[in-house]
Amino acid sequence: MSNAALPCQVVFLDAGTLPCPLPWSEHLDAPLLTRLDYMAHERSAPAEVPARVAQADILIVNKVRLSAELMDQAPRLRCICIAAAGTDNVDLQAARARGISVHNVPDYGSDSVAEHVVATLLALRRHLVDYSQAAVDGRWSASPHFCWHGPRIRPVAGTTMGIAGRGRIGQATARLVQGLGMRVLFAQRPGKPLADDERPLETLLAECDAVSLHVPLTPDTRGLIDARRLALMKPGAVLINTGRGALVEAPALVQALKAGQLAGAAIDVLDTEPPPPDHPLLSRDIPNLLLTPHSAWASEAAQQKLASRLAELVAAHMKGEA
């Protein structure tokens, strides 16, 4: 029997991270559907992974870490599809050495994440959470006036947004905030000449009213925003992180917010996910922190686009095209 007729085992190790079915019938014809042996696991604890990858031809993962050791326990493995833009959970060098192709999905959530950045930026600058709470806890009802005045509402039009990362999400964010009347500056890219709309990171932090992080997590970017760089930020600025949690040193951010060094921070990602209950950013006494559970990417449209692209990648591999 030729390999083209053999079943192809596709294993999604953490399918619970994508609450949207993969549209196999849109990308696989009847013969390929017959060959498809698809197994979706809601989640996979580290101890469960070796047995689940042992017979896999194709693995789909979101956050499950795939090391060289695990790859050696999957002798049939020829393709890894990452259900995300980031690739830091897969040992890419080990995959290359073993002839395993690796594919990520870099463009499925650009608009969704950019919209989240704008939503949280406006929420912080306008103190929407505080004002909503004042409306329901009696402070508005007790006001002698038609309105209730609380924290200072600051505009975004005419201010400057600094963006670290000039990829798809960074560019999408730039387009949206420019539509709100903001000036946009980008952080200088390592090893690249300085463009007119770029600044060295330290200069960018000091010049911008808001800073949004969209760089990949690498050894060089881990802890990118530490206590020293937080101290460089413009007084009254806000920090937004929808990239990777480890880009920001959490204890330093907590201290900066409690000291009033920053006007606010919107954090959608943490260095450990899900976070332990004692994570420093889960404390209830941190002022002006807007924390969301890694949901910036998860619009309905983005989920459907990601699911479709994963099915397309699997189909391409089964057809010998990838």
State residue 3's pLDDT score. 54
Does the global pTM surpass 0.75? yes
State residue 61's pLDDT score. 99
State residue 10's pLDDT score. 98
State residue 321's pLDDT score. 81
| The pLDDT of residue 86 is above 90 | no
Confidence band (pLDDT; 50, 70, 90) for 82? Answer: very high
| The pLDDT of residue 34 is above 60 | yes
Q: Given phi > 0 = left and psi -120 to 50 = alpha, else beta, which region is 181?
A: left
Strand order in the sheet with 264-267: 198-199, 183-187, 160-164, 210-213, 238-241, 264-267, 289-291
| The pLDDT of residue 1 is above 50 | no
Average pLDDT over residues 190-200: 93
Cα dist from 3 to 35, 245, 267, 294, 320, whole Å: 10, 42, 47, 40, 11
Confidence band (pLDDT; 50, 70, 90) for 4? Answer: low
* pLDDT tens for each residue of 44-74: 999 999 999 999 999 999 999 999 999 999 9
Confidence band (pLDDT; 50, 70, 90) for 2? Answer: very low
| The pLDDT of residue 181 is above 50 | yes
Residue type, 140: W
| The pLDDT of residue 316 is above 90 | yes
State residue 269's pLDDT score. 98
Structure tokens that stand for 81 in this block:
């599809």
Average pLDDT over residues 131-143: 97
Average pLDDT over residues 293-303: 97
- The catalytic residues are 244, 273, 294
Average pLDDT over residues 63-91: 96
Burial of 149 (0-12, 13-18, 19+ CB in 10 A): exposed
Average pLDDT over residues 186-203: 95
**Going by C-beta distance under 8 Å and a sequence separation of 6 or more, which residues neighbour residue 289?**
257, 264, 265, 267, 281
Given CA atoms 137, 143, 146, 151 in this order, what sign does their dihedral have?
Answer: negative
- Of the chain, the percentage scoring pLDDT greater than 70 comes to 98
**All domains of the chain, ordered by start, with CATH?**
3-106+301-318 (3.40.50.720), 110-291 (3.40.50.720)
Average pLDDT, the chain: 96
Are 150 and 126 spatial neighbours (Cβ–Cβ below 8 Å)? no
DSSP for 55-96, please give it: T-SEEEESS--B-HHHHHT-TT--EEEESSS--TTB-HHHHH
